[in-house]
A and B are shown apart, each in its own frame.
Chain A
Amino acid sequence: MEDYLVLRVIAKLMIAFMLLFALYVQFHGDFGPGGGFQAGVIAAAAIAFYAIIYGLPAARAVVPDRVVESMIALGVLIFSGVGFLGLLLGGNYLDYFVLGHDPVHGQHRGIFWVEAGVFVTVAGVMLKVFYLFASRVREEG
């Protein structure tokens, strides 16, 4: 696909908006539809799109395998870390009320970080699965 000029230009235009839309879905999830899972999938789809047009090595240069694999574990760590933070601040596991001075503020903080954890893990897993499939070479015969 690397020789198609139209595809390359259009892809470059669209990927920025896809990533921006992923961020919008992530941070606007409190007010409108969306959240960490959807945003993670959209972000992974943007990188996969980049890989389809510009080739897998180019995408791997932008988001290396090491980063993707760390993201898979990091998201779950963020999520469970929010839970332990609640314990340390004197609440129950995954209790967000204690995370801020005022309970509603604490809820906001808790939901924000939990959604961030979901985003990181989902984006990492989707991208890693894509990398693994796309990096396989067809075995003739």
Chain B
Amino acid sequence: MEGVIIATLMAMMAGVTIAIVRQRNLFAVVILSGIYSFLMATVLVALDAVDVAMTEAAVGAGISMVLFLSALYLSKGEEEKPQHTPLLPLAAALVTGGALVYGTLDLPAFSDPGAPIHQHVAPRYIQDGPRETGVPNIVTAVLASYRGYDTLGETTVVFTAGVGVIALLRRLRRPVSR
């Protein structure tokens, strides 16, 4: 049953992607990308990754759409017709996609308990995590405690990105001396 739901959602996502590519009205593209994010979030809920689903819904469908819309306000609402034929980009996308699909052939099967990633430190987190940290949500325990350094790094990345955007977009109010 779960497989059917995920396959349906994935098919809908593919449909939305094709609609995004074919659509020239940028407002419609922004709304469609929001729909794509919500579908992705639903897939992640079906995969029991609720934390990631929440992030996808809030960032992908919420904040990104608002930012896209405010960027759209500054530009024209229609996409220009491309000047070159799309054959070269299509070929590049096909080759890259083919390489990625070829790469996944070597991965362990989905939710295979014998996969290396489930054999390394994951059993210890699952067995000792609630006892050592007293936090029932293992995701939070791993994120904030066991992998605290990584989360500090991620927060610093968010900080750096924010500072970068400020440096690029901020307009200094210099007194006009003319």
Residues of A at the B interface (CB closer than 8 Å) are 25, 29-35, 37-38, 41-42, 44-45, 48, 52, 69, 72-73, 75-76, 79-80, 83, 94, 96, 103-105, 107-108, 110-111, 114-115, 117-118, 121-122, 124-126, 128-130, 132-134, 136, 138-139
Contacts and interface: CB of A to CB of B under 8 A. Distances in A.
Interface string B130-149: 00111111011101110011
A31 B137 contact: yes
Interface centre among B73, B137, B139, B162 (most CB of A within 10 A): B162
Contacts of A117: 155
Closest 3 CB pairs of A and B: A125-B162, A33-B50, A104-B134
Interface of B: 50-51, 53-55, 58-59, 62-63, 66-67, 70-71, 73-74, 132-137, 139-141, 143-145, 148-149, 151-152, 155-156, 158-159, 161-163, 165-166, 169-170
B141 A111 contact: yes
Contact of B158 (A69, A104, A125): A125
Given A76-B156, A118-B155, A96 B63 contact: no
Contacts of A130: 63, 66-67, 70
A104 to B, nearest CB: 4
B51 A129 contact: no
A94 B50 contact: no
B134 A132 contact: no
A111 B141 CA distance: 8
A75 B155 contact: yes
